Structure 1
Amino acid sequence: MIENKSKYSQFIKSEAKRLGFLSCGISKAGFLETEAPRLESWLKNNAHGQMAYMENHFDKRLDPTLLVEDSKSVVSLLLNYYPSEIQNPESPKISKYAYGQDYHFVIKEKLKELLFSIQNEIGEVSGRAFVDSAPVLDKAWAAKSGLGWIGKNSNLLTKSVGSFYFIAELILDLELEYDHAVTNHCGSCTACIDACPTEAIAAPYVVDGSKCISYFTIELKENIPSEMKGKFDDWAFGCDICQDVCPWNKFSKSHNEPLFNPNPDLLTMTRKDWQEITEETFRTVFKNSAVKRTKFEGLRRNLDFLK
């Protein structure tokens, strides 16, 4: 039985690699004890702003066995999205994760294929795939699975590749060989805290989501508060500041996923092109992109705010 656990775990990791995932770690499914008080406190302090969905399914967020019947293991996966080229430095900026096609669809397809391979190889295995769209604490599970540690900016950091990657999970009713958490390597560095223009990193390891540029430019549906004027550093959709300044991201290497390659026009658009963007250009440049989440009106609002 132990032999099988090891064999199955190695098979899953080799398949994940074949599908292009950066790395794969496995944890025993169960209640996330240390995360419970942190999540409760974060919600109590309204750090989620208008993201009311964060209040839903509190118990399921902390315990995947309530989410997937008979679940035994959480398989965490990382997929690199660091681009080989970035936008024109004179133009308003969008987060690097949104350059190409919406990651939800790209990763879901890979996870479906991984689950199919597992069932094909091992037999009757039930499971569910999650990509940032259900009450799963992705970063906590990835850290528990030894894929990195949670940094002071609350992102998952990895020594060899930094933090420009997506996190996804397969929750399975299969017992596997479990990995162990790695040590924290942030040390005394406060680069992310010092660089955040809106002071969203309230304290080391505590991010006030309601002050984050990503929140204002994506999640907030009403007007951006006037006191934030001049603090966005030209970010029109999302924000990468706390990742860009992180020393571990010196090790980021560009991805090799064609679907994450941007529309070439995105890289050459000037400030004038952005300010004069039409709905038709928006639809062309951001076809199938995560930027569509903010809709044309939302992006227009963000661009007007940067003027």
Structure 2
Amino acid sequence: MNYNELADNIKIWGQELGFQKVGITDIDLSDHEAQLQRWLDAGYHGEMDWMARHGMMRARPAELHPGTIRVISVRMDYLPPEAQFASNLSDPNQAYISRYSLGRDYHKLIRNQLKKLGQKIEQEVGQLGYRPFVDSAPILERPLAQKAGLGWAGKHSLILDKEAGSWFFLGELLVDIPLPIDLPQTNQCGKCTACMTSCPTNAIVEEGVIDARLCISYLTIEFNGIIPENLRSKMGNRIYGCDDCQLVCPWNREADVTTQEAFHRKDIFQDASLISLFQWNEPDFLKNMEGSAIRRIGHQQWLRNIAVALGNAPFSESIIKVLESRLGISNVLDIHIHWALSEQRNKHKNLERNTKLERLVRIIGKGLPRDA
């Protein structure tokens, strides 16, 4: 078997299957084990217990799939056309949803394509032990992607590529054949710290290290409890995920939009006002989110996230009414609704106070001499 030729063919087949880049690496992640343990010991994984439960298996692919000696790492771009980052974030009455989740759930799509890639390789080699993974197993996909030459780890911990920025998904195909490995890219971040300084909650505690407990993506997606009160106002209108650290990254300025129509914005999100999304009942939520990654957080967590955003929105009688209409569903949701109602009422008081001051200034101004 000419493994060099096979590796070249694998990259061609991968692109034919919709992957923008394919790289190959060995399975040695021993250099990352100490860092992973420090991250876990610091509690930065929050309530994602599975992170600690699998221990160092995340850094040992062969324990996940015995016989593995190589990992084929793939990239699939997801940036949708007309992403509307600035206009969406700047309108506090509209919901901001992380751009990776505006379309179809990527897990099944990429896994199916990886499976097809494995089957294609098997046709060539006769017998192949392989297993595809897409963000669904205890495996350090970013270090593997870095070793495979797909990019370097940015200070926000995401993989960056000088041609594609960071707007892409990763996937892995574990195989048991001795393919030649690719060289990693050189880190190109330099002294730039834009991602660190732009994080709304200061979740990037040091270069490449994220405290998930502070991260809006974790709080809105992985965490189903009571969001710390000191973080709620910092979440703004972000109801599912957060893209801020990517938005300011210079390498993302020239990133191409995705060629996968499945990742384009769902029609239901074309006009995503907070009030309209908050009025969905559970059947509405399940129907509208069919095929979406958002569906897995469930209706109550969806309402919880929007309640926080409504609390951060400008005062509106309509917001007061819609918040009150959702009281009594659950204790966790009630806590966030009562906070949002308090925020709205405080804004109303401030608005009334400012209106009275403006009226008083106008009255006083009218009584003053023209040359005063």
Q: Could you tell me the TM-score, scaled by structure 2's length?
A: 0.79
Please report how far the alpha carbon of residue 284 of structure 1 lies from its aligned counterpart in structure 2 after TM superposition: 3.3
Residue 100 of structure 2 corresponds to residue 97 of structure 1: yes
Please report how far the alpha carbon of residue 253 of structure 1 lies from its aligned counterpart in structure 2 after TM superposition: 1.1
- The 3-state SS of whatever aligns with 2:171 is strand
Please report how far the alpha carbon of residue 189 of structure 1 lies from its aligned counterpart in structure 2 after TM superposition: 0.5
Deviates more, 1:79-88 or 1:67-76: 79-88
Q: Indicate the residue corresponding to 2:369 in structure 1.
A: none
Q: Separation in 1 of the partners of 2:236 and 2:140?
A: 29
Structure 1 letter corresponding to 2:61: P
Residues 63-142 of structure 1: pairs in structure 2 closer than 5 A: 63-86=60-83, 89=88, 90=91, 91-142=94-145
Residues 198-237 of structure 1: pairs in structure 2 closer than 5 A: 198-237=201-240
Structure 2 letter corresponding to 1:251: E
Higher relative contact order (CA 8 A, sep 6+): 1
Percentage of pairs with the same residue: 37
Assess if the C-alpha contact under 8 Å between 2:44 and 2:211 holds in 1.
Answer: yes
Assess if the C-alpha contact under 8 Å between 1:191 and 1:245 holds in 2.
Answer: yes
Q: Indicate the residue corresponding to 2:10 in structure 1.
A: 12
Q: Separation in 1 of the partners of 2:254 and 2:288?
A: 29
Q: Indicate the residue corresponding to 1:27 in structure 2.
A: 25
Q: Separation in 1 of the partners of 2:128 and 2:56?
A: 24
Question: What is the RMSD of the two structures over their aligned residues, measured on CA atoms?
Answer: 1.3
Assess if the C-alpha contact under 8 Å between 2:274 and 2:306 holds in 1.
Answer: no
Q: Separation in 2 of the partners of 1:233 and 1:13?
A: 42
Q: Indicate the residue corresponding to 1:269 in structure 2.
A: 272
Q: Give every structure 1 segment of 4 or more consecutive aligned residues whose post-TM-superposition deviation is greater than 6 Å.
A: none
Structure 1 letter corresponding to 2:291: N
Deviates more, 1:135-144 or 1:93-102: 93-102
- Distance change (3 Å), C-alpha of 1:57 and 1:229: closer
Corresponding residue pairs, total? 304
Q: Deviations over 1:52-91 (max 9, x none)?
A: 0000222321111112121111000001110002367231
- The 3-state SS of whatever aligns with 1:288 is coil
Assess if the C-alpha contact under 8 Å between 2:95 and 2:272 holds in 1.
Answer: no
Please report how far the alpha carbon of residue 34 of structure 1 lies from its aligned counterpart in structure 2 after TM superposition: 1.6
Bigger share in helix: 2
Q: Indicate the residue corresponding to 2:44 in structure 1.
A: 47
Q: Separation in 2 of the partners of 1:85 and 1:121?
A: 41
Residue 308 of structure 2 corresponds to residue 305 of structure 1: yes
Assess if the C-alpha contact under 8 Å between 1:93 and 1:234 holds in 2.
Answer: yes
- Unpaired runs of 5+ residues, structure 2, are 312-372
Q: Deviations over 1:88-145 (max 9, x none)?
A: 7231111111111111111111111111111112211111001111011000000001
Q: Deviations over 1:169-200 (max 9, x none)?
A: 00000110110111101111010111001110
- The 3-state SS of whatever aligns with 2:110 is helix
Q: Deviations over 1:204-238 (max 9, x none)?
A: 11111111001110111211111112101311011
Please report how far the alpha carbon of residue 269 of structure 1 lies from its aligned counterpart in structure 2 after TM superposition: 2.3
- The 3-state SS of whatever aligns with 1:167 is strand
- The 3-state SS of whatever aligns with 1:78 is strand
Question: Of the two, which has the highest radius of gyration?
Answer: 2
Please report how far the alpha carbon of residue 271 of structure 1 lies from its aligned counterpart in structure 2 after TM superposition: 3.3
- Unpaired runs of 5+ residues, structure 1, are none
Q: Indicate the residue corresponding to 2:246 in structure 1.
A: 243
- The 3-state SS of whatever aligns with 1:297 is helix
Structure 2 letter corresponding to 1:243: Q
Q: Indicate the residue corresponding to 2:158 in structure 1.
A: 155
Q: Separation in 2 of the partners of 1:251 and 1:74?
A: 29
Structure 2 letter corresponding to 1:94: I
